[in-house]
Amino acid sequence: MLVLYLNFIPISLFFAKLQTFFLRVYPNYGYILFVMYFLLYSSAEEGLEFPSFDGKDRVLNVNERNYKKALKKYDMMCLLYHEPLPSDKELQQQFHMREMVLELAAQVLEDKDIGFGLVDSHRDAKVAKKLGLEEEGSIYVFKDERVIEFDGELSADTLVEFLLDLLEDPVELISNPMEQRAFERMDEDIRLIGYFKGEDSEHYKAFQVTAEKFQPYVKFFATFDKGVAKQLTLKMNEIDFYEPFMDEPVTVPGKPNTEEEIVDFVNQHRRPTLRKLRAEDMFETWEDDMDGIHIVAFAEEEDPDGYEFLEILKEVARDNTKKTDLSIVWIDPDEFPLLTTYWEKTFKVDLFRPQIGVVNVTDADSVWLNMPNDEALPSAEELEDWIEDVLSGKVNTEDDDDDDDDEDNGIDDGSDEDHYGDDDD
């Protein structure tokens, strides 16, 4: 439910104001809104021109008659699997806006040989079944023999970025110290790097095939350079796996590795102790909860407090990376401006300050670590204790429901917290 709701928020907030105005003026304002928006932003000088929808319909209505041909025609096919067009006017608007995201992406990527289409879950149920489309509202990308689900924010920016990533080579080569340093700085991404003899190495080929399977979510790098390999302490045919925000990589055991071994290893290690919420796979991340909850940390990296808090959080994550059930979702509010006020309302927190809390993904009920305004940030130890309490269930979203439940419950919790503070000293 929350997922669906979130899905509409960015776009609807964005257009809320314009919408009320146009509602009175134009009866069919869905398309006009989009055109207006891009016109507003395209009146600048040359060299910085946002694309405006040119009105040309590029998104195909996929059906039994045309789907095979369409899949054959393009290098990549991007399909929005959607519920039938609703009769409600507002829902129709939302539908058209999603369609327009595809139209604009199709227009921008016109010379990239990517097809775009819509599959109606009722009318085209047979096609959907044949193609293996399951989740209504999701976008599926067909590339070679693979189907890649896009489970990110449905905006033209995010979708286009995702598709462009998919067009790149699945393995990026690192061949000099400068590229190596850049690789080492990418600490937000899950990434692998292998050292191989050269392009023709069969082990490199296995690595390449594996990379395609995880593109673009897990980044694959390789080097054929002895010096780079030495710096990264890689032996011939060895593959290292880097979890986000960890200092040390883990080596995939049993080199040289087969495709299957690498796939298994990545699947086993894929859920990081600390991960950053990204627009391109935010819904997938959110769906990967820890038994119905997420530990969520809000911190703006560019804000001194936020930066500091993040450093503490990374330290805690490094110390606890062996706890396989622990996965903290870090959200930088700067990257989700359209969601910030929604989160503040839903979670009742001030996002101008760093926050960490537990969120129940069923009802978005939450509890937050108490960080009073005038006090310093928690130490790594305090944060670790709190996380322990979350994992053991001592801190949870259910006990503090003093709004809904009886007062006794709330009071009990209060004394419990005091107790826990005194206990350790």
Ligand X SMILES: *[C@@H]1O[C@H](CO)[C@@H](O)[C@H](O)[C@H]1NC(C)=O
Interface contacts to ligand X, rule CB under 6 A: 291-293, 360, 362-363, 365, 396-398
Minimum CB distance to ligand X smaller for 128 or for 293: 293
What is the Cα 230 distance to its own chain's centre?
33
CA dist., res. 361 & res. 285, Å (int):
12
CA dist., res. 186 & res. 245, Å (int):
9
Q: Nearest approach, Cβ of 372 to ligand X (angstroms)?
A: 26
Minimum CB distance to ligand X smaller for 155 or for 396: 396
Q: Nearest approach, Cβ of 400 to ligand X (angstroms)?
A: 11
Q: Nearest approach, Cβ of 367 to ligand X (angstroms)?
A: 10
Minimum CB distance to ligand X smaller for 208 or for 366: 366
Minimum CB distance to ligand X smaller for 133 or for 358: 358
The DSSP call for residue 279 is: G
Minimum CB distance to ligand X smaller for 199 or for 405: 405
CA dist., res. 97 & res. 286, Å (int):
23
Shortest-Cβ-distance residue relative to ligand X: 360
For CA atoms 345, 279, 134, 108, the dihedral sign is: positive
Phi, psi of 173 (to 5 degrees): -90, 140
- CA nearest to 205, candidates 253, 259, 241: 259
Q: Nearest approach, Cβ of 268 to ligand X (angstroms)?
A: 24
- Give the H/E segment covering residue 56: none
Q: Nearest approach, Cβ of 292 to ligand X (angstroms)?
A: 4
Minimum CB distance to ligand X smaller for 404 or for 422: 404
Q: Nearest approach, Cβ of 363 to ligand X (angstroms)?
A: 4
3-state secondary structure at position 241:
strand
| 116 contacts 106 by C-beta, under 8 angstroms | yes
Q: Nearest approach, Cβ of 283 to ligand X (angstroms)?
A: 19
Extract long-range pairs of 99-102: CB within 8 Å, 24+ residues apart: 99/59, 100/30, 100/31, 100/34, 100/53, 101/11, 101/154, 101/155, 101/156, 101/159, 102/59, 102/78, 102/159
Minimum CB distance to ligand X smaller for 288 or for 308: 288
